Chain A
């Protein structure tokens, strides 16, 4: 079954801790994205990657980091510098910028 897998579904972060959200796709898509969703707001772009070993900052990259060492994987690290990390995080992929975006099922991150 082709798709995007995000894990874990729920994640809790302690003060000063870095946490990593996993995103894996088997769709053979070149482009991958991380979005943050807050209640009542549209999705906001954190980082995107057009190709392996390359990624670009989105609108709200501060306090986050990513890597793209493999085509199928695009993990997101929420660092301790992100002071308001509680949100629903969505990973997505597409063949290129003119094609449909496919989303994972999301990770809910909360602060303890």
Chain B
């Protein structure tokens, strides 16, 4: 069974600092990995999707890397802003089933 772990569970940084969020998974036989953002009481918004054959994806200030062999992904958010405060979840896809981590809750202090 796929296990997805996100450490740390919470993170607080001053505005302008770069954010580094980690995700690890136990089974490297995945179709893709997705990073999501969730605001309190809301649904999830997809940020980046990395196919299993890719090493990284970039969108604006966001960059996600994937090392399938070691079962790790990292989400980098450059020059953090208070609006980046949210919970970030990663999920790995095994056929139609996504396995989610519990998320990292980020607070960016103004």
Q: Which residues of A contact B (CB under 8 A)?
A: 4, 6, 31, 33, 35, 40-45, 48, 50, 56, 58-59, 88, 90, 92, 97-106, 108
Contact = CB atoms under 8 A, between A and B. Distances in A.
Contacts of B45: 103
Given A100-B49, A101-B46, A40 B102 contact: yes
Contact of A97 (B95, B100, B102): B95
B4 A90 contact: no
B: contact size bracket:
20 to 34
Nearest to A102: B46
Contact of B96 (A6, A31, A42, A43): A31
A90 B43 contact: yes
A45 B98 contact: yes
B43 A42 contact: no
Contact of A105 (B43, B49, B102, B103): B43
A59 B36 CA distance: 21
Contacts of A92: 44
Nearest to B99: A42
Interface in B75-110: 89, 91, 93, 95-103
B9 to A, nearest CB: 8
Contacts of A106: 41-43
Given A43-B89, A44-B100, 10 more contacts: A6-B43, A31-B96, A43-B44, A43-B100, A59-B97, A98-B32, A98-B93, A101-B34, A101-B36, A106-B43
B33 to A, nearest CB: 12
Nearest to B31: A98
A106 B93 CA distance: 21
Contact of A103 (B44, B97, B102): B44
A42 B102 CA distance: 4
Contacts of A101: 34, 36, 44, 46, 91, 98
